[in-house]
Amino acid sequence: MTDYAKATAQIIAAGRFLAAKGWAPATSGNYSMRLGDGRIAITVSGYEKGELTPEAIMLIDANGVPRDNRKPSAETLLHVGIYAVRKDCNAILHTHSHDATVLTKRHKDLKALVLADYELLKIYPGINTHETKVKLPIFNNTQDMKKLRAEVEPFLADGIPAYLIRGHGLYGLGRTMAEARGIVEATEFMLSCELELRS
Ligand SMILES: [Zn+2]
């Protein structure tokens, strides 16, 4: 069972890791964890992700309602939507990487990215061979989070480990924070391979 202090420490560490990779430019991205009591610890809007402190993390309830008067991430509804459908998911990391941005903008009509025959696919839960394919949906970007949440929802039930938003970034889902970090790192690696292979 993750408590608030433990979640805060894990989110801060994830922020340092992801920002060092260059996947959180200009305070972008957002991270969260589901606590044992069902509430969610999530990054407050507007903080540099490589320099997070406990003040940059806040509590919301399962519907996304803040437990204090600070402003949670602009994409809180997406996190809440994932936790509502995916009972297996307890950590979410959202990056704004160069490769995810270029790849999804270059292939404007692509509705999903198929990752096939990568050794790193084995990082995804339930996969133990490279001889497989994983389809990550790509959604068009919008500032309407309600709309985006509704579009993502049907795909979540299929057990996707991650999804992309065009010209925007990647969402990675994990049962634990360690798993979410592995999924984001492996996916970003495969995205950079795809970008090169498709150029
Ligand atoms: Zn974002």
DSSP sequence for 116-162: ES-GGGGGSTT---SS-EEEEEEE---S-HHHHHHHHHHHHTTT-SE
Average pLDDT over residues 40-55: 95
CA 170 / ligand 1 centre spacing (Å): 8
* 51 phi, psi to nearest 5 deg: -125, 35
Nearest to 45 by CA among 27, 59, 25: 27
Ligand 1: centre distance to CA 130 (Å):
30
Q: What was the pLDDT predicted at 173? A: 98
- Cα of 34 vs centre of ligand 1, distance in Å, is 19
What is the per-residue pLDDT for 67? 85
Distance 128 CA to ligand 1 centre (A): 30
Tens digits of residue pLDDT in 165-176: 999 999 999 999
Residue 1 has pLDDT above 70, yes or no: no
Q: What is the mean pLDDT of residues 107-125?
A: 96
pLDDT score of 199: 85
